[in-house]
Amino acid sequence: MIYMRVLDQIKANVNELSKRVVKDFLNREETKSYRKFTEEFHLERVNDIFSDLISWLEKEKPKAHMEKYYKELGKKRLQADIPLHETIMYLMLIKRHIWLFVLENHLLDTTYESTKALELNNRIVLFFDRAIINVTIGYEEELAKQMKDAGHGGLIRSLLKKK
């Protein structure tokens, strides 16, 4: 029950949550490369991530969809010259704002609800962990491709080869 209540609140407040996230990372030094994009661009991207999260939590989208989307996102961020650590911070801030929202809105009133919320937290953490690893993989694949296309060899290329 708490799982659905929190999920319903996230759905009902997704625009507010997205605005908070965008405001936060546009003002952070750790994500300064993202300032080259418009606020509208960021709102759309964050809304997309929330939509994916909600669909994944509701078991509407399979893991394979998620893997493909976030690998592609990693490739796009490298092509846009966004450092990988900033891309990861972007995802971490979205996750952080979900839990700030839950706490601010007192969606967990009892110990039982807190325990049940841990189940939801574990699913959200799993979603973002998978998003982060797939963004990283996509980023690395694109970097290796760009290096190969440019004719660069050496240590970096060998480090990015899949084992």
pLDDT tens digits, 9-42: 889 999 999 999 999 989 999 999 999 999 999 9
Structure tokens at 18: 């997205």
Q: Are 91 and 128 in contact (CB under 8 A)?
A: yes
CB atoms within 10 A of CB 103: 10
CB atoms within 10 A of CB 85: 11
Angle between helix 63-79 and 84-104 (nearest 10): 130
- Which domains, and CATH codes, for the chain? 2-160 (1.10.490.70)
Tokens 């690893």 belong to 133
What's the rounded Cα separation, in Å, for the pair 68 and 86? Answer: 20
**42-52 residue pLDDT tens:** 999 999 999 98
Phi, then psi, of 140 in degrees rounded to 5: -65, -40
Q: Please, which pLDDT band fits residue 163 given cuts at 50, 70 and 90?
A: very low
pLDDT of residue 119: 75
Query: Cα angle at 36 between 53 and 93, to 5 degrees?
Result: 35
AA letter at 120: L
pLDDT of residue 79: 94
The mean predicted confidence, pLDDT, of the chain is: 84
How much is the pTM? 0.76
What's the rounded Cα separation, in Å, for the pair 74 and 76? Answer: 5
DSSP string of 72-112, one letter each residue: HHHHHHHHTT--HHHHHHHHHHHHHHHHHHHHHTT---SHH
What's the rounded Cα separation, in Å, for the pair 4 and 58? Answer: 9
